[in-house]
A and B are shown apart, each in its own frame.
Chain A
C-alpha cells in the first residue's frame, strides 16, 4: 500500500476512536451536571408529580448506560434521535443550524484567510519598516479586544448610527444570497478581526524563518525580485505551519463563535448547543458535541496531511 494511503487511513481510524471517546466524555459530563432535563424544563414551577411524569415521558427513569448505548446504536444507523425537550427531530434541526454555522464560517474564512496571508507576505516584504509595524499593531489590537465588545461597538456605530447593515444577523431560508450576506456582514467583520492576527503573524514568522536559508540567498543572487522570492521560493516551504494555523482558525470559526452568535442573534450551532446544555437535553448535546469534535478532528487531520504532502522528505520516506 502506498505510504500516504496507509497514513490517511491510520489517521481516519484514529479520528473515529477519538470521536467515540469524545461522545462518552460528553455524555458523562452532562450526566454529572446538577439536575436533569425534566427539572430544567419545569424550572421553578416543578412539582414532584409533574417531575416524575416528565421523567417517565423523556425516558430519564432508565439507567444512564442504557440510554448512552441506545443513543450510540441509533447514531451508527444514522439516527440522531429526538430532542428531549421539544420533541423535534435532531438531525433536521441540527442540519439547519450547522448549515448556518458553516455559512458564516465560510464567508469569514473567504475574507480572512487570503487577507491574513497577503498581509503576512506584505509584512515580510517590508519587514521592520512601517507597513510591517502598522499591520502588526492593527491586527494585534483587534485580537486583544474581546469580540463581543467589537461586536457591540460595530452595532452601535455602523448599524444604529449610520444605518448600514443589520444589527441582527438572523438569516433564514426565505432570504436571497444578497440579503443573507448583508445580514452577516457585521459578524464576518468581527470574526475577521479576531482571527486575522494569529494567521498573519504565523505566516510572517514561518516565511521569515525560511528566508534565512541558503537557497533564498541563491535566489537573491540570481537577481529575482523580493516579492517573487517570497512567493515562489519561501512560501511553498513555509506552507505546513501556515496550513496548520489556518486550520486551527477555521475550526475556531466553526466551533468557537457562540459569543458572536449571541451578540448578533445568529441562529448557529453555538447558541443551539448552549440552550440544550442548560436544559440538560443530552441527545442534542451529544449530537452537537460529536459534530464539533468531528469538525475539529477533521480539520486537524487535513492540516497534518497537507504538511506531509508539502514536505518531500515526509512524502518519500526512506
Chain B
C-alpha cells in the first residue's frame, strides 16, 4: 500500500492526478480521509511550479528553409519558435474561451462590427523597445495589406479598417463577426516591433524566451527574457531541436537527450507508453484526415454518387488501423465535439454497403473506376487508408482506383486541382473560421468547390448572432447540409500524440494544438 500511495503522490506532484481522484483512490486503499488529505497537501506543494533548468524539445516539421517571419509559418518548428519569442493579442484557452495576452481587455460594439482591444502597458520587446498600440496596428497591417504573403491573410479579409487611439486598438469589420477575437489569436499574428515592417524575420517579440541561436533546420536556442511581462514560463532556457525522423525522435526522448517530443507515431505510441520515465499524452483535437471530392466536376457533381462513397467507407476501421485508436470517427463535416457550439444530436454516419450500393445505382454511374489520388504527404497512412477505402467500396460494388502521387509537389499539383484526393485539415478554433476558410462559396481554400447560397447565408447569419443557442442551431443546420450534400468525406479526427519526460510536471490537456497548444514551455516545469 505504501508503494501505491507513493506512486499516487508522485502523480499528484507531476500534475497528473486531481485531488478528487487521489482522495477516491486513497479511500479505496483504506486510508483515512485525514491522512490522505495531508499526503495530498504535501504532494501538491511539491507540484507548485519550480523555476530553472533548460528544457529540450525535439520537434518534427523543421527545415533549413524556415524563416522566423511569423507570416511564413506553416509547420511545427516555426510555430513553436513563434511561441517562444512572441505573443499574440489574445489566445484561445484550453476550455475554448478567450484569454487576454498582450490585450488587457477586449470589447465589442452591440452589433459586433467594431472591436476595441486595450493594449497592455509596460510590455518590453527583446530589443528593449516598449510595445505600443502602434506596433499592434503595424503588425496587423503587415499581415493584411496588399503585398502580404501571410498565412493569416485569409482571416484578415473581413477587416474594413483599423486605427489606434492612445492605448486602444480599434478594428472595424465590414460584416459583423462575433468571433473576431478568435481570429486575432491566430499564431501568425505575433506582435512585432514596428509590426515587423523593417525586419520581419528578426525573431524579436515580447515572449518569455529570447532567441540566442537560430540555425534553421537544426536547432533554435532561447534563454529566459529578464523583462518578460507575465509570470508563467518557468525554464531558464529552451532548446528546440529539429528531429524530423520519427524513430530518432522517440530514441532521443528515451535516452534523455530531449524532454519533450511531438508527433509520436500512433504505431509506436502504445509501445512507448510502456517505457519508464516518460508519459505519452493523447489529446483529442480538431484536425481531421479527409478525402475530398470536387462537387462541380463529373462524376462527383452527382450527389447520389457522393452519398454512395460516403456510405462506403468504414470509419471505425480507419480509426483503429490508421490512427491505432488515437483519434475519433468523423461525420462528413469538418466539425467535432472539440468545437464550441457543436450539436452532438447529429446522427453519426456509419459504413453501410447496402445503402452505398443503393445510392451508387441511383447515381447511374457507368461503372468505370473512380480515380482517387493519394500520397502519404496528405496525412500519415493516407495510402493505406485509401486501400482500406477501396476494399470497403468494392464490397458495395463501387470500383475505386488508387493513384499514388509523389509527395513532392502534392499541394500544388494534386490538392485543390484533381477532383478526388486525400488531404488533411488542421482545424480552427471556432466553427465559423473552419467554415469560412474552406466551405464558403468565395473561400480561397474551398477544396471541395462546395457552393451553396443557403449555406453562405446561414454562415453570415451565425457570425452576426450573439445568442449562443441560436448560433448553435444554425451551425447544426449547416453541418447537416454539408454532411448530406457536400464533397467532404471525413472519416476521422486525429489526436495530437505528444510525449514528455517524467522529469517535467504541469501537463494540461489543450485541444487547440499539439504540445498544449504550443504553450508547453510556458506551462510545464522541472519537478
User: Is residue B248 contacting chain A, with contact meaning CB distance below 8 A?
Assistant: yes
User: Is residue A316 contacting chain B, with contact meaning CB distance below 8 A?
Assistant: no
Q: Inside 8 A of A83's CB, which chain B residues have their CB?
A: 65
Contact of B153 among A35, A47, A170 (CB under 8 A): A47
If A47-B153, A53-B147, A172-B215 touch, whether A264 touches B412 (CB-CB below 8 Å) is no
User: Do residues A279 and B63 form an inter-chain contact, with CB atoms below 8 A?
Assistant: yes
Give the complex CA separation of A6 and B134 in angstroms. Answer: 69
Give the complex CA separation of A35 and B65 in angstroms. Answer: 16
User: Do residues A168 and B252 form an inter-chain contact, with CB atoms below 8 A?
Assistant: yes
CB contact list, A46-93 vs B, under 8 A: 46-50, 53-54, 57, 83, 85-88, 93
CB contact list, A144-184 vs B, under 8 A: 152, 155-156, 159-160, 163, 166-168, 170, 172
Contact of A170 among B149, B241, B251 (CB under 8 A): B241
User: Do residues A265 and B248 form an inter-chain contact, with CB atoms below 8 A?
Assistant: yes
Q: Which residue of B lies closest to A56 (CB)?
A: B147
Contact of B255 among A43, A48, A163, A284 (CB under 8 A): A163
CB distance from B338 to the nearest CB of A (A): 21
User: Is residue A41 contacting chain B, with contact meaning CB distance below 8 A?
Assistant: yes
Give the complex CA separation of A156 and B149 in angstroms. Answer: 43
User: Do residues B242 and A265 form an inter-chain contact, with CB atoms below 8 A?
Assistant: yes
Give the complex CA separation of A155 and B245 in angstroms. Answer: 13
CB distance from A8 to the nearest CB of B (A): 36
User: Is residue A263 contacting chain B, with contact meaning CB distance below 8 A?
Assistant: yes
CB contact list, B340-391 vs A, under 8 A: none
User: Is residue A42 contacting chain B, with contact meaning CB distance below 8 A?
Assistant: yes
Give the complex CA separation of A33 and B257 in angstroms. Answer: 38
CB distance from A98 to the nearest CB of B (A): 13
CB contact list, A252-282 vs B, under 8 A: 262-265, 267, 271-272, 275-276, 278-279, 281
Q: Inside 8 A of A34's CB, which chain B residues have their CB?
A: 408-409, 412-413
User: Do residues B215 and A275 form an inter-chain contact, with CB atoms below 8 A?
Assistant: no
If A43-B411, A155-B251, A167-B252 touch, whether A88 touches B216 (CB-CB below 8 Å) is yes
Contact of B248 among A46, A49, A54, A167 (CB under 8 A): A167
User: Do residues B244 and A167 form an inter-chain contact, with CB atoms below 8 A?
Assistant: no
Q: Inside 8 A of A170's CB, which chain B residues have their CB?
A: 218-219, 241
User: Do residues A166 and B257 form an inter-chain contact, with CB atoms below 8 A?
Assistant: yes
User: Do residues A87 and B255 form an inter-chain contact, with CB atoms below 8 A?
Assistant: no
CB distance from B398 to the nearest CB of A (A): 28
User: Is residue B301 contacting chain A, with contact meaning CB distance below 8 A?
Assistant: no
User: Is residue A40 contacting chain B, with contact meaning CB distance below 8 A?
Assistant: yes
User: Is residue A225 contacting chain B, with contact meaning CB distance below 8 A?
Assistant: no
Contact of B65 among A48, A96, A279 (CB under 8 A): A279
If A86-B201, A265-B248, A276-B65 touch, whether A50 touches B153 (CB-CB below 8 Å) is yes
User: Is residue B22 contacting chain A, with contact meaning CB distance below 8 A?
Assistant: no
Contact of B251 among A54, A93, A160 (CB under 8 A): A160
| Chain B 213-235 interface mask (CB, 8 Å, partner A; 1/0) | 10111110000000000000000
User: Is residue B116 contacting chain A, with contact meaning CB distance below 8 A?
Assistant: no
| Chain A 129-144 interface mask (CB, 8 Å, partner B; 1/0) | 0000000000000000
If A34-B412, A50-B149 touch, whether A156 touches B251 (CB-CB below 8 Å) is yes
CB contact list, B201-215 vs A, under 8 A: 201, 213, 215
User: Do residues A275 and B65 form an inter-chain contact, with CB atoms below 8 A?
Assistant: yes
Give the complex CA separation of A155 and B254 in angstroms. Answer: 11
Q: Inside 8 A of A88's CB, which chain B residues have their CB?
A: 216
If A265-B245, A267-B215 touch, whether A46 touches B412 (CB-CB below 8 Å) is yes
Contact of B150 among A50, A163, A262 (CB under 8 A): A50
User: Do residues B216 and A86 form an inter-chain contact, with CB atoms below 8 A?
Assistant: yes
If A35-B412, A45-B151, A50-B153 touch, whether A265 touches B67 (CB-CB below 8 Å) is no
Q: Inside 8 A of B241's CB, which chain A residues have their CB?
A: 168, 170, 265
If A41-B74, A172-B219, A264-B248 touch, whether A272 touches B255 (CB-CB below 8 Å) is no
Q: Which residue of B lies closest to A266 (CB)?
A: B218
Give the complex CA separation of A97 and B213 in angstroms. Answer: 15
Question: By DSSP majority rule, is chain A's interface helix, strand, loop, or mixed?
Answer: helix
User: Do residues B64 and A276 form an inter-chain contact, with CB atoms below 8 A?
Assistant: yes
Contact of A160 among B74, B213, B254 (CB under 8 A): B254
| Chain B 43-79 interface mask (CB, 8 Å, partner A; 1/0) | 0000000000000000000011111000010100000
Give the complex CA separation of A265 and B253 in angstroms. Answer: 14
User: Is residue A10 contacting chain B, with contact meaning CB distance below 8 A?
Assistant: no
CB distance from B292 to the nearest CB of A (A): 12
Instruction: With a 10 A CB-CB cut-off, give which of B216, B415, B423 has the most chain A CB atoms.
Output: B216
User: Is residue B247 contacting chain A, with contact meaning CB distance below 8 A?
Assistant: yes
User: Is residue B24 contacting chain A, with contact meaning CB distance below 8 A?
Assistant: no
Give the complex CA separation of A242 and B139 in angstroms. Answer: 62
Give the complex CA separation of A88 and B245 in angstroms. Answer: 25
Q: Inside 8 A of B7's CB, which chain A residues have their CB?
A: none
Give the complex CA separation of A42 and B241 in angstroms. Answer: 23
| Chain B 383-420 interface mask (CB, 8 Å, partner A; 1/0) | 00000000000000000000000001101110100000
Give the complex CA separation of A87 and B217 in angstroms. Answer: 14
User: Do residues B147 and A159 form an inter-chain contact, with CB atoms below 8 A?
Assistant: no
User: Do residues A272 and B149 form an inter-chain contact, with CB atoms below 8 A?
Assistant: no
Instruction: With a 10 A CB-CB cut-off, give which of B148, B251, B254 has the most chain A CB atoms.
Output: B251
User: Do residues B247 and A93 form an inter-chain contact, with CB atoms below 8 A?
Assistant: no
Give the complex CA separation of A93 and B63 in angstroms. Answer: 13
User: Is residue B154 contacting chain A, with contact meaning CB distance below 8 A?
Assistant: yes
Q: Inside 8 A of B242's CB, which chain A residues have their CB?
A: 265
Q: Inside 8 A of B201's CB, which chain A residues have their CB?
A: 86-87
User: Do residues B445 and A45 form an inter-chain contact, with CB atoms below 8 A?
Assistant: yes
CB contact list, A76-125 vs B, under 8 A: 83, 85-88, 93, 96-97
User: Do residues A159 and B244 form an inter-chain contact, with CB atoms below 8 A?
Assistant: no
Contact of A41 among B64, B65, B245, B413 (CB under 8 A): B65
User: Is residue B243 contacting chain A, with contact meaning CB distance below 8 A?
Assistant: yes
User: Do residues A33 and B409 form an inter-chain contact, with CB atoms below 8 A?
Assistant: yes
User: Is residue A218 contacting chain B, with contact meaning CB distance below 8 A?
Assistant: no
User: Do residues A53 and B251 form an inter-chain contact, with CB atoms below 8 A?
Assistant: no
Contacts A/B (CB < 8 Å), 20 sampled: A33-B408, A34-B413, A40-B409, A41-B74, A44-B411, A44-B423, A50-B153, A57-B149, A83-B65, A85-B66, A86-B65, A155-B251, A170-B219, A265-B248, A265-B252, A272-B64, A278-B63, A278-B408, A279-B63, A284-B65
Give me the 7 closest cross-chain CB pairs, A-B, nearest first.
A85-B65, A35-B412, A34-B409, A275-B63, A167-B251, A86-B67, A39-B412
* 12 new A-B contacts at CB < 8 Å, known A33-B408, A172-B219, A272-B64: A33-B409, A34-B408, A34-B412, A35-B412, A40-B412, A45-B445, A54-B149, A87-B201, A265-B244, A265-B245, A275-B217, A279-B65
Q: Which residues of A contact B (CB under 8 A)?
A: 33-35, 39-50, 53-54, 57, 83, 85-88, 93, 96-97, 152, 155-156, 159-160, 163, 166-168, 170, 172, 262-265, 267, 271-272, 275-276, 278-279, 281, 284
